[in-house]
Structure 1
Amino acid sequence: MATGGLHESNRGNASDFFGECAITQSCEPCMKANIAKAATVLCKDCNEYLCETCRNPHVVYKGGKHDVVSIQDKQSSTVVVDMKGKDKCSEHGKGFEFYCEDHLKLCCTTCIIAHGKCNKWDEIASISRQKGAQLHGLKQSLLKLKSDADAIVAECKQTEEELNASVADLSKDLDEMKDRMIKLFDAAKRELLTEANALKSEEEKKLSKMQSVTTNVMEELNQLLPMCSSLADHGTPQQMFIFSKQVEERNITIESKINEQRMTEVSSKVTLSYTEELSSILEMGTKFMKVNLEQRGNPSSISSLSQSRPVTLELIVSLNLPKSEDNERKPFLTGLDFLSDGRLVAVDNQNMKCMILNEGLRRLGTPYTFKSSPTDVAVLSNSEIVVTCVKCLRFLSVSSDNVISLTRQIETSSSFSSICCKTPTQMVVSTIDDIRNVRMISVDGVETDFQQVEFPNKTYKLGDSSSTYVQSKNTLVLTDRRAHTVYLYNTVKGTSRAVTNGNIQEPRVACVGPGDTVIVCNENMNSVVHLTVDGDYLCTYPVDMKCPRTICVSRDRTRLAVSNCAKNMELQLYKILPTLNN
C-alpha cells in the first residue's frame, strides 16, 4: 500500500504498484481534465488535493464543510507501489522472472521448466529495459478507451432525457387536437400514451444495460489508468514490462466491449405522426394516430465516422481574406487548430498575428501580435496553445472571453514548420533545413528523435513538408510537396509506406481525420485527399478555392477548416458528414 501522503481519491495511484519512487501530489480536478498541475492545499473534509485555481470553486460551489489546509511545505512522498499480485504467478505464487516469446506468457521459476524446449524465452530483467516504453503507448490507448466510455455514458443520459422530454411533448401534441375531437381524442390519448411509455420502457432497458456495461468498463479503466501513469513515471523497467503484458489482453477486451456498445441501436425520442385523411377521423376510431420510435442508431454522434471510410464535406461558410486596415499585408494563414469548445485558432504568418474565430469565422477578441513570423499552432488544452516561430516555441493562454496572452517561450535547436500534439506533454514538429525531418519536443523543451523511423535523406525548406501524428495508431505522417509523396510511419513496429499516385499532387499540410484517418491538402488539384493510416486511398474532396494549403479537423471530427496560398486568400469551414452507403 502507498505510504507518506498519497490521497485515496487518486483511485489507486499508489495502491496498485510496487517499488520505490518519488511522487509529487497533483491537483485532482486538474487531473480529471488531463492537466498536470501540482496541488498546494488539501481539503480534509473532502479528502481532495487542490491547486490554487481550483481551491476557491471547490469551497464556493461544492456542498458541505471544507477544512482546507496547506501542503506547500510537505516533501514529495516515497511510496511503495504494489501490483496486487499482477507480478506473481497465480498457479505457483512466485514472482515472474521470465517471458516466453513462443507462448507470449509470463513465467515464474517453476513455469519456465515447462518452457525449457521453447526457442525464445528471456529473463524479464534483461529485456524489460528495452520494452518498458510500450507502457506509454498502452496508457494512451487506455485513455482513449476511457474517453469513449465517458462519451457513451454521457450520451446515454442525454438520450434518456430526450426520451422523457419527447414523451412529455406527446401530451401537448395530443391536446391540440382534443378540442375538435374531444370524445374520440380522450380514448386515443390514453392508448397512445400507454404505447409510448411501453416503447420508452423498452428503450430505457437498453440504455440501462449500456450504461451498466460501460460503467463497469469505466471502473476498470479508472483502476488501470492511475496504475499505468504511476508505473510509466516511476515504475522499474520490470514493473513496466509485467504490467504491459498483464494489461494488453484486458485492453483488447475493454475495446471489444466499447465497440459492442457503440454498435447497439437506441432511440433518442418518441415521435407522433398523423394520418393524411383528418376529415374522416371520426370514422377511424382510436387508430387515427400512432406512436413511432425515431431511431438514431449509434448513441455516439461521431461513432458513424469512427471507421476508415470516405465522408461527405458540406460547406458551412467561406470567407475572403483581403488586406484590412489593421493589417499591413494580406492575411496568410499557415496554422489552424480547433479548441475543444469549437472556436478556431489561426496564425497569420504575413501579419505576425494569432486570432480566435467563431463558428461563422468572425474574429473574437483582439489578435495577439508576435515579434517574428509564426508558422503553425497546436492546441494543448482549451486554455493553452503553442505556436512555432523562428527557433522557438511560444506558449499562449486563451481565456473564455478570447484574451490571448503570452505565458512563456522555449528556444529550440531548429526552426519548426508544423506542430501537433502526440501526448498531453509531448508534441511532434517538422523541421526546416534539418536532416532530422520530424522530431519530438516536450512542453518543457526537451527535444528527442524517433528511433525506429528512417526519413528521406534530404532537408526541407519552409512550406515543402508538414507532419502530423495519429496517436491511437502510433502513425507519423510526413508530406513531401516536391516529390508528390505522403510518408506514413508506424513508430512502434518500425514499418513505413510512401504513398505516391495521381491523386496526390503537391501535398501540403496534413491532419488527423475521422476514424483516425489522414487528410492532406492537395495544392495542385484544389482538393483534399483522404487516406488510411496504412496508406490506402479513400477519396478526394474538391474544395472551392485555389491552392489549398493549411487544414485542421475539430476535436469531435465533425468540422474541417481549410485555407489557401493563392492570390485570392480564403478560409472555409466544412461540415463532415458520414457517407452511409460506403
Structure 2
Amino acid sequence: MASRIFRDSNKDNAGDFIGESTVTQSCKPCMKTNVSNTATVFCKDCDEFLCDTCKNPHTVYKPGQHNIVNVQDTKSAPVIIDMKGMDKCHEHGRDIEFFCQDHSSLCCSSCVLIHRKCDQVDEIAKVSRQTRTELQALKQSLIKLQSEAESIRADFEQSETGLNESIAKISSEVDKMRDRIIQLFEDAKQKFIAEANKFKTAELKRIMNARDASSKVKDEISEILSMYCIVLERGTSSQQYIYSERIKERRKTMESNAHDQRKVKVASKVTVSFSKELTSFLEVGSNFIQLNYDGKQTVKTSPISLSSQPRPVTLELLVSVDLPKTGDDEKKPLLIGLDFLPDGRLVAVDNRNMKCIILNERLQRLGTPYTFTGNPYCVVCVSHDTLCVTFNGVVYLLSVSTDNTITLTREINTTSTFYSICCMSPSNMVVSTYDDPRPVRMISVDGVETDFDHILTFPKKTYKVDESACTYVQSKNTLVLTDRFAHTVYMHDTLKGTSRAVTNTNIQEPRGACVGPGDTVLVCSTIKHSIVHLSVDGNIIGTYPVDMLCPHSIGLSKNGTRLALSNIAHGTTKLQLFKISPAMR
C-alpha cells in the first residue's frame, strides 16, 4: 500500500506529525500506478477516494453497492497522507507494522522473524495512540533545530559577506601602505637633499677660502718673480742682498701657508647609502606581504614582516685576538671605541697609545695608524670615508682613503667634553658628556652644539669619564644612554617625548652600546661579561655571554652581519669579531 489510511480518530495525530507539510486527498487507483491525482469523490462502501476519471470504472467494474459522495461534502472522510516511503521497510518493501524496543528498529512482518528472540517487539497499531505527546515534543525540537540551522546559515552568509568585503579592502590597504612608503621616501629625500645642500654650502665656503688663499700666494709669487728679474739684472749688489733676505722671510710665510692649505681636505663628492633593513626589504621582492585569516594562520609567509617583533640573534665567534704591546706602542693597547666603515673595514681608537687604527676581517692592521696628541675616547663613521673621534674638548674629523691612509681634516673645539659619539643623521651626531650637567647633547659636522628637549627620566647628574655612553636608533627616533653605576639603560623617544628606565639582573655596569639588528639595541654588561639585547620598548630580547672579561665597546657593521667587541680587563685585553644572524624560531 503506497499510503496509510488514518481513520477519524487519528486525524489530529496526522496533522501534528506533518507540521507545515501539505495534507493531500489523492485518488487511490491512480496511486497504485504511481500517478498522483487529487480525489474529487469518496466511496463510503469501499472506503476509497476517487478522481473524476476513476469514478465511472469504479462503479461499473467493481462489484457491490457504491455510495459515492463529493469529498467536500463529508467531514468524516479519512485523510490520506503520502508518507514518501517512510512507512515502508527499506529492506523488504513491506508496510511497517512493528517496533523492536531492544534494537530501536522499525520492522515489517519479515523483519519480525529476525527479531523473534527480542524481549520487546510492539505492534505499532496498539502503541501508536501513546505517541502524540512524544510527537509534539519532537515537533518542538525540530522547530528549534530548524531555527538553529537558520542561524548557522545566517552566520555563513555573514562570513561570506565579510570575506567578500575584506578581500575588496585588501587592494585599498595595500595602496595605503604603498602611499605611506612613498611619502616616507619623499620626506627622507627632502631631508637628505636639504642636508646635502647645507653640507655643500659649508664645503664650498671652505673651498672658496682655500682657493682665495692659494690665489693670493700665486699672485704674490708672480709679483716677487717680476721684481726679482729686475733686481737680478739691474740692481746693485746691496739691493740684491737686501731683496734676497726679504724674499727669504716671505718665502717661509708662503711655504707655511701652502702647507696649511695642503692639510685642508674637502669633500669632492657626496653619496647616499640606504639602511640594511631597506636593502633586505628590496631583496625579498614582492613576497613581503602576509595574508592572514581569522584563525590567525598565515596563508602566505615572507622572510620579512613589517609588523614582526624583534628576534633574538646568534653570535658565532670568527676571530679573537689578544692585544699585546707592539713595537710602535708605548703601552698595552686599550681599544675603547669601535665602528665599521661601509666597506667592512673595522676602525678602532686606542686610548692608551693615542691612535686610530684600521683593521681587516682577520683583525689585522691596515696601513699606518693616525696618532693623536691626546687620548681619544670614541669613534663613529659618518660617511663612506669620514670619521669623527672624541677627545678632551675636541672632535677630530678624519678622512680614510682606500689605501688606509688616515688624514686629519678638521678639529672642532667644543664647549662640552664628549665621551661616546654616534650618528643621528648624515650631518648630526649624538654625544654623551662628562663633567657636564647635560648627559647627552648633539653636534653637527660643522661644529654646532645643541641640546635635547627636557628628558624626564634621564638622571639629573654629572657623569665622570666612562660612566655613561650613548647610541641613537634613527628609524625609531630613540635616544639610548647607559648609566654604569646605576645599572640602568635609559631610552627616550625624541618624537613622542616618552622615556623609560630599563633595569634587569642581566644589566650590570652597562657601558658601550650600539644599534642592533632590526632597530634594536646591544649593550655591554661589564660585570656579567655578556651582551644584553633590548628592544626600543625596553624589553629584554636576549642575553649573550662572551668569552671575554668586562666587555666595554661594541660596534655593528653597516650590513648588520658582523659585530666587533673589545674589553678593558687588566692584563687580558681582547678584540673579537662575531658573525651575527637572527636566531632560528
Q: What TM-score, normalized by structure 1, do the two folds share?
A: 0.51
Partner amino acid for 1:323? K
Cα distance in structure 2, aligned partners of 1:513 and 1:404: 27
Match of 1:93? none
1:420/1:145 CA distance change after superposition, 3 Å: closer
Which string of whole-angstrom CA distances, capped at 9 and with x for unpartnered residues, describes residues 450-494 of structure 1?
Answer: 114132111111111001101111111110111111111111111
Q: Structure 2: 5+ residue runs without aligned partners?
A: 1-185, 209-271, 292-300
After alignment, is 303-312 or 414-423 more displaced?
303-312
User: Are 2:585 and 1:563 aligned?
Assistant: no
User: Are 2:334 and 1:332 aligned?
Assistant: yes
Where 2:527 maps in the other structure, the secondary structure is: helix
1:149/1:474 CA distance change after superposition, 3 Å: closer
Cα distance in structure 2, aligned partners of 1:522 and 1:321: 21
1:440/1:306 CA distance change after superposition, 3 Å: farther
1:150/1:500 CA distance change after superposition, 3 Å: closer
Aligned pairs for 1:34-433 within 5 A: 36-37=199-200, 152-153=281-282, 155=283, 210=286, 261=288, 307-433=309-435
1:35/1:378 CA distance change after superposition, 3 Å: farther
| CA displacement at 1:37 relative to structure 2 | 3.3
Where 1:505 maps in the other structure, the secondary structure is: coil
Cα distance in structure 1, aligned partners of 2:332 and 2:367: 20
- The correspondence for 2:533, drawn from 525, 530, 534, is 530
- The correspondence for 1:577, drawn from 568, 574, 581, is 581
Which string of whole-angstrom CA distances, capped at 9 and with x for unpartnered residues, describes residues 516-557 of structure 1?
Answer: 111100100110101111110111101111010000111111
User: Are 2:508 and 1:505 aligned?
Assistant: yes
Contact 2:276–2:558 under 8 Å retained in 1? no
Where 2:549 maps in the other structure, the secondary structure is: coil
| CA displacement at 1:423 relative to structure 2 | 0.5
1:148/1:330 CA distance change after superposition, 3 Å: closer
Where 1:472 maps in the other structure, the secondary structure is: helix
| CA displacement at 1:559 relative to structure 2 | 1.1
Partner amino acid for 1:37? K
1:40/1:445 CA distance change after superposition, 3 Å: closer
Contact 1:393–1:409 under 8 Å retained in 2? yes
Query: Aligned-residue CA RMSD in angstroms?
Result: 3.4
User: Are 2:490 and 1:463 aligned?
Assistant: no
- The correspondence for 1:492, drawn from 490, 495, 516, is 495
| CA displacement at 1:151 relative to structure 2 | 5.4
Match of 2:94? none
1:364/1:307 CA distance change after superposition, 3 Å: farther
Which string of whole-angstrom CA distances, capped at 9 and with x for unpartnered residues, describes residues 131-168 of structure 1?
Answer: xxxxxxxxxxxx99897556555x47xxxxxxxxxxxx
Partner amino acid for 2:433? T
Match of 1:438? 440
1:408/1:517 CA distance change after superposition, 3 Å: same
Partner amino acid for 1:404? I
Cα distance in structure 1, aligned partners of 2:373 and 2:464: 22
| CA displacement at 1:350 relative to structure 2 | 0.2
Cα distance in structure 1, aligned partners of 2:376 and 2:412: 14
Cα distance in structure 1, aligned partners of 2:324 and 2:373: 22
Partner amino acid for 1:398? V
Contact 1:304–1:578 under 8 Å retained in 2? no
Where 1:37 maps in the other structure, the secondary structure is: helix
Match of 1:202? none
Cα distance in structure 1, aligned partners of 2:553 and 2:490: 18
Match of 1:553? 556
Where 1:329 maps in the other structure, the secondary structure is: coil
| CA displacement at 1:324 relative to structure 2 | 1.1
Cα distance in structure 2, aligned partners of 1:145 and 1:430: 26
| CA displacement at 1:334 relative to structure 2 | 0.9
1:144/1:470 CA distance change after superposition, 3 Å: farther
Q: Structure 1: 5+ residue runs without aligned partners?
A: 1-15, 18-22, 42-50, 53-142, 157-206, 211-259, 265-296
Where 1:327 maps in the other structure, the secondary structure is: coil
Partner amino acid for 2:439? N
Cα distance in structure 2, aligned partners of 1:305 and 1:420: 27
1:339/1:262 CA distance change after superposition, 3 Å: farther
Cα distance in structure 1, aligned partners of 2:302 and 2:202: 39
Cα distance in structure 2, aligned partners of 1:306 and 1:365: 42
1:35/1:534 CA distance change after superposition, 3 Å: same
Cα distance in structure 2, aligned partners of 1:526 and 1:39: 44
1:321/1:426 CA distance change after superposition, 3 Å: same
Contact 2:276–2:559 under 8 Å retained in 1? no
Contact 2:276–2:560 under 8 Å retained in 1? no
Contact 1:486–1:498 under 8 Å retained in 2? yes
Partner amino acid for 1:409? E
Cα distance in structure 1, aligned partners of 2:338 and 2:203: 35
1:348/1:262 CA distance change after superposition, 3 Å: farther
| CA displacement at 1:305 relative to structure 2 | 13
Match of 2:254? none
1:514/1:421 CA distance change after superposition, 3 Å: same
Larger of the two Rg values belongs to structure: 2
| Residue-pair matches, total | 322
| CA displacement at 1:506 relative to structure 2 | 0.5
Cα distance in structure 2, aligned partners of 1:337 and 1:487: 22
Cα distance in structure 2, aligned partners of 1:324 and 1:404: 20
Contact 1:416–1:430 under 8 Å retained in 2? yes
1:486/1:337 CA distance change after superposition, 3 Å: same
Cα distance in structure 2, aligned partners of 1:440 and 1:432: 14
Partner amino acid for 2:465? L
Partner amino acid for 1:579? A
Contact 2:277–2:518 under 8 Å retained in 1? no
Match of 1:47? none
Contact 1:510–1:521 under 8 Å retained in 2? yes
Cα distance in structure 1, aligned partners of 2:316 and 2:460: 39
Match of 1:107? none
Greater RCO (CA < 8 Å, at least 6 residues apart)? 1
Where 2:200 maps in the other structure, the secondary structure is: coil
Partner amino acid for 1:560? L
